[in-house]
Structure 1
Amino acid sequence: MVPAYRLFPMGSPTTRASVLLAAATEELAWREPAIADLAATVGVPNFRRGRPRRPHFAELARMICYQQLAGSAARAIHGRFEALFDGPATAEGVLSLPDERLRSAGLSASKARSIQDLARHVVDRDVRLNVIARLPDEEVIRELTLVRGIGTWTAHMFLIFQLGRLDVWPVDDYGVRKGYARLFGNGNVASARELQPLGDRFRPYRSVAAWYCWRAADTLI
């Protein structure tokens, strides 16, 4: 087992979130030798990934911008999208823009419609971003997937990396399935349906286990 206090370099800053992640890692490392070995190499999960914290709407818009694009292209489009607003993107700000202005950022017609649909759902309070941090995981998924272009995978990423939820098991992510095969399987990558029950062993820290699966798969997240 890797003691939690050893997972932080000497003098490193700690927050409540980082302490919780260290405690979760300690628990999983005690249960799972494969995670203990990997944690000794890569350390404690960082759900922020060095990104600035954005308001929930702006982060969801960023996630839509990045869908199915390589990093450099997605960053360029998202940067132009952000430049359309005086400050973080808001639902009201998106709905105030004509379609051609939104598309001028380089967004495809489909992604522009997705961001507009997100904005409408937020304004209509079908997606309650003002209270979403207090909602159960399943309710967060239900509300977010009302939006065109937001599926379960995006909702899972939002739960883990924006809300910091510790018990999400994103089986639709190929990197998680590939990493699980390397860490715990025989190398054969399971389907999403096959992997779903295999995550029960990691409760209540399935998000942390998923992060180590990504690391094992050498997946950039």
Structure 2
Amino acid sequence: MPRHARGFDVEAAHAYLLRRDRRLATWMRRLGPLPPEPRWRRPFDPVDALARAILFQQLSGKAASTIVGRVEAAIGSTRLHHDTLGRIDDVALRACGVSGNKALALRDLAAREADGQIPDLRRMSVMDQDQIVAALVPVRGIGRWTVEMMLMFRLGRPDVLPVDDLGIRKGAQRVDRLEAMPTPRQLAARGETWGPYRTYASLYLWKIADFAGEAKAPVNRSQD
């Protein structure tokens, strides 16, 4: 089976998109080249990353970080896994500030990990992105967007376009000078132009949305 490297050649992606899309290229020249994502080179644990993504949902970064710190202190570990989460009961989780729904999601993730359903990095390296999405979205509290953020910012897959992301849609609206944001379906069709480097295009679309003043603060994308 072919192995997927973590990360891709951003210079090749930049040159390709400049040739491929005149409207996007105008913004790319304005913003300058984007460097490789540093997290592509850092080791990470998918289960721990998913657990943290669950805890960060619908909270400010500061509030979520406080809750994560309490959970780590309660379990006596900075590694969130079925074995360490098993050290704390639901009452103690609630005392840390974890909601009932998030506690259920953490339990489901831990149970699936213990059952071997969550692929590790070695397994992910021989899986395509659709296989990874299919393996992870059955976990309670984990949606496609969360997996797409992992694919982009942790695994460095080159051709991911999160069509449901508000910032991506706002960026595409700005690029194409549309009166309204494109629908996810419209964005998926528009994104065919950017393949096989839709990830790199997406990074620009977020910056374009922010640059345009549409977003007042960077969005926490769960993989920070």
Same-fold call, TM cutoff 0.5: yes
The structure, 1 or 2, with the larger RCO (C-alpha pairs under 8 Å, 6+ apart) is 2
Equivalent position to 1:209, from 198, 201, 210: 201
Equivalent position to 1:183, from 175, 182, 188: 175
Residue 43 of structure 2 is aligned to residue 28 of structure 1: no
Deviations 1:62-117 (A, max 9, x none): 11111111222122222323333424222221133211232332111111111111
1:55 CA drift (Å): 1.5
Q: 1:97 to 1:214 in 2, by over 3 A?
A: same
What is the distance in 2 between the residues matched to 1:117 and 1:165? Answer: 26
**Residue 192 of structure 2 aligns with which residue?**
200
Q: Between 50-59 and 142-151, report the one with greater CA deviation.
A: 50-59
What is the distance in 1 between the residues matched to 2:171 and 2:148? Answer: 17
**Residue 63 of structure 1 aligns with which residue?**
53
Equivalent position to 1:117, from 108, 113, 119: 108
Contact kept? 2:6, 2:41, Cα under 8 Å: no
What is the distance in 1 between the residues matched to 2:159 and 2:128? Answer: 11
Residue 162 of structure 2 is aligned to residue 170 of structure 1: yes
Q: 1:177 to 1:125 in 2, by over 3 A?
A: same
**Residue 145 of structure 2 aligns with which residue?**
153
The percentage of aligned residue pairs carrying the same residue is 34
- Aligned residue for 2:125, secondary structure, equals helix
The alignment's C-alpha RMSD in Å is: 2.5
What is the distance in 2 between the residues matched to 1:69 and 1:26? Answer: 37
In the alignment, structure 2 segments of 5+ residues that lack a partner are 220-224
Query: 4+ residue stretches of structure 1 with deviation over 4 A?
Result: 16-19, 48-53
Deviations 1:154-182 (A, max 9, x none): 11111111211110110011111110110
Letter in 2 for 1:70: S
Q: 1:49 to 1:57 in 2, by over 3 A?
A: same
Pairs aligned (count) = 206
What is the distance in 1 between the residues matched to 2:40 and 2:160? Answer: 21
Letter in 1 for 2:18: A
Q: Between 61-70 and 49-58, report the one with greater CA deviation.
A: 49-58
**Residue 94 of structure 2 aligns with which residue?**
103
What is the distance in 1 between the residues matched to 2:93 and 2:209? Answer: 36
In the alignment, structure 1 segments of 5+ residues that lack a partner are 1-15
- The TM-score, its normalising length taken from structure 2, stands at 0.81
- Aligned residue for 2:117, secondary structure, equals coil
